[in-house]
């Protein structure tokens, strides 16, 4: 899955990436065959991480409206013990949050020892929406790139494995998903008129994503651009990348806190 990884200093051209691509996977059935054991492995690794209770994992999910952030969480983390997993959704800042620096509310939701934390949107909204919607001056959001890099470096240096995924869908696919929301009574609650305003700024958002990813992809906090038109491929990429990175952590089998030699249960 390193084919989707953006290396430090790499120039990113989203127009040159096909959101419908599924490199290395021939169809939905093949993806599902690969996905199931990954899901079981992730559960095992998460249990080890929780038992070790030393290191942490942060998963950042970003994407344009309907890109599948919620669906990714539901599928990839299905069956994982909720005791050691947290999910944070960063929406419009409150008055209290606006009274602090933009990372204040984010730092409160990073994972503790033994935890996997999932960000459904994140601190990157402050260099994406804030930029495109002109919520802050250019000098402010420009300075945030370095502030984010330093923030993530702090997390990495203190035991956090960071994985950042941009779920990249096409404009045509977004149209279909928005129409599905609008026409389905069970999904209509998800539809916001503001989604159409953001859709009108599509190209501006892509340029903002390109620069944000280029400026902040680092060895300790890499970005992955995931073709996400096909939901089954999106889920596979996120699950496989997460499992590979957690396996590389070499989390040891949990050991009992006491010496159990000779203990017999009668």
79 confidence band (pLDDT: 50, 70, 90) = confident
pLDDT at 217: 98
Is 80 exceeded by the pLDDT of residue 1? no
pLDDT at 202 > cutoff 90: yes
pLDDT, residue 78, reads 93
Rounded to whole angstroms, how far apart are CA atoms 266 and 254?
A: 24
Mean pLDDT (the chain, rounded): 95
Fold of 2-248: Rossmann fold (3.40.50)
pLDDT per position as a tens digit, 43-69 = 999 999 999 999 999 999 999 999 999
Closest by Cα among 55, 66, 163 to 119: 163
Residue 104 reports pLDDT greater than 80: yes
Give yes or no for a contact between 160 and 49, defined as CB atoms under 8 angstroms apart. no
Q: Which residues contact 168 (CB under 8 A, 6 or more apart)?
A: 14, 17, 19, 63, 67, 225, 226, 227, 228
CA distances from 246 to 55, 73, 79, 169, 170 (A): 11, 17, 17, 26, 30
User: Is the pLDDT reported for residue 146 higher than 80?
Assistant: yes
225: how many CB neighbours lie within 10 A of its CB?
Answer: 23
Whole-number pLDDT of residue 252: 87
Mark out the alpha helices in 99-192 (DSSP H runs): 104-107, 129-132, 138-157, 171-183
Strand, coil or helix: what is 160?
strand
């Amino acid at each position: 899955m390193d084919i989707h990884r953006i290396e430090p200093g790499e120039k990113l051209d989203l127009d040159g990436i096909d959101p419908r691509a599924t490199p290395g996977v021939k169809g939905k059935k093949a993806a599902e065959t690969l996905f199931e054991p990954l899901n079981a492995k992730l559960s095992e690794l998460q249990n080890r991480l929780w038992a070790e209770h030393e290191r942490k994992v942060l998963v950042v999910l970003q994407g344009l409206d309907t890109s599948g952030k919620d669906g990714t969480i539901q599928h990839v983390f299905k069956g994982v013990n909720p005791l050691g997993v947290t999910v944070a959704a960063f929406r419009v800042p409150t008055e209290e949050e606006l009274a602090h620096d933009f990372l204040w509310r984010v730092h409160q939701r990073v994972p503790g020892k033994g935890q996997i934390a999932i960000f459904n949107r994140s601190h990157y909204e402050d260099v994406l929406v804030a930029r495109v919607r002109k919520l802050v001056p250019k000098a402010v959001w420009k300075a945030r790139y370095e502030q984010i890099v330093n923030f993530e470096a702090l997390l990495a240096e203190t035991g956090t494995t960071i994985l950042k995924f941009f779920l990249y869908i096409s404009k045509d696919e977004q149209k279909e998903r928005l129409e599905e929301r609008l026409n389905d009574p069970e999904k209509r609650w998800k539809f916001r008129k503001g989604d159409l305003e953001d859709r009108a700024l599509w190209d501006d958002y892509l340029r903002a994503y390109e620069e944000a990813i280029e400026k902040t992809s680092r060895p300790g906090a890499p970005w992955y651009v995931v073709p996400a038109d096909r939901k089954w491929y999106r889920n596979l990429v996120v699950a496989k990348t997460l499992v590979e990175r957690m396996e590389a952590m070499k989390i040891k089998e949990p050991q009992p806190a006491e010496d159990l030699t000779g203990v017999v249960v009668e």
